[in-house]
Amino acid sequence: MTVLETGLAFAVMDDLNIEDPAQLLPYLRQNDRIGRSDRPRFTALKGGVSNRAVWVQFDHKPDWVMKQALAKLRVQVDWFSAPERIQREAAGLTCLDKLIPGHVPELVFVDEGQHILAMSAVPQPHDNWKTLLLGGGTCIKLAREFGQLLAKIHNAALVHPQIESAFAEVRFFEELRLEPYYGYTATQVPQARAFLKNLIKDTRNRRFTLVHGDYSPKNVLIHQGKLVILDFEVIHFGDPAFDIGFSMTHFLSKAHFLRAKRRSFIEMADQYWRAYSADLDADLAKGMQSFAVRHSLACLLARAAGRSPLEYFDERHRSRQKDIVLELMQREISALPELIDGFRACLDRHNEPD
């Protein structure tokens, strides 16, 4: 499996900014991406830190979403990553369109020179799952589907061995996940330094299957009751337990943030894990839980003290989550249900006003 040979743009525009319609329209026309008579409408999409993103609306054909990878991410601390990762995202879209068809957008084109990708837009109306969750919209059915889709992604390499070579490069995962989430957090929380350093080492050695690397409700749209998965710029062949820890963190952190919905989020976390593990290949499942626990703890801490803290947490939430994670790191937890229940018990014991 290889990246689609979609071709480079014919014309190069220095310092192109796709969020500027005065630049984007001539770029698309000069490179024959649209017809001379097309009059698309452009809307900049906010919220992402690693890419510029624009919704391109057409009158007579399906809409697009365009992304342009940034070398310097839009966060408060310095955080850099090579924009060539847009090619990895194109490869991820192409691959997952075959593995979980109907659950990812279709690739339209990729311009490697300008670090731009265009894909089909998810039809309106749709909802961002993270937004629904923060509004208290919990749903066990969606949590289970989320787990089942991830199991399909993780199982894929066992039947498609070419995935290993196609996604062997881990540079972008290092730049956008291991360093900012684990490495940087280790410098900010000395009590967790040994835990995080050992996990980084083990993660680099655990290379078993295809890993999304950014599997979270933020990157999920819901259209007609179906989950559509987005954002593949750090997809790679590596440790599947990372995806569990990264995604589990979002359910547990929202259980922390929305106390009135705590029980519902805890149940979603539990059902997500159960649906995933029920569909996971038996060979991949061996030893998975202990590493999933470690990644969950590390990501929970990173979202309180890393380069990319949860934007809905205030200082009280960040401090409380850090204290709880450090406490749980001292226990010998090897099973996800035990971690989920332990996190809930710690939250209930703190029982501080939000």
Q: What is the pLDDT of residues 144-169, one digit of tens each?
A: 999 999 999 999 999 999 999 999 99
| pLDDT at residue 17 greater than cutoff 50 | yes
Contact (CB, 8 A) for 244 and 118: no
At 334 the pLDDT is 94
Q: Which fold has domain 21-120?
A: Phosphorylase Kinase; domain 1 (3.30.200)
pLDDT tens digit sequence for 62-111 = 999 999 998 776 655 677 778 889 999 999 999 999 999 999 999 999 99
- The CATH number of the structural domain formed by 127-350 is 3.90.1200.10
Among residues 174, 170, 172, 188, which one has the least CA distance to residue 77?
188
Average pLDDT, the chain: 92
| 298 Cβ contact list (under 8 Å, min separation 6) | 181, 182, 185, 192, 195, 196, 199, 245
- What is the predicted pLDDT for the residue at 74? 64
Q: pLDDT tens digit string along 266-320? A: 999 999 999 999 999 999 999 899 999 999 999 999 999 998 899 999 999 999 9
CB neighbours of residue 339 within 10 Å: 25
What residues does each domain of the chain span?
21-120, 127-350
Query: Using an 8 Å Cβ cutoff, are 217 and 133 in contact?
Result: yes
pLDDT of the residue at 8 = 36
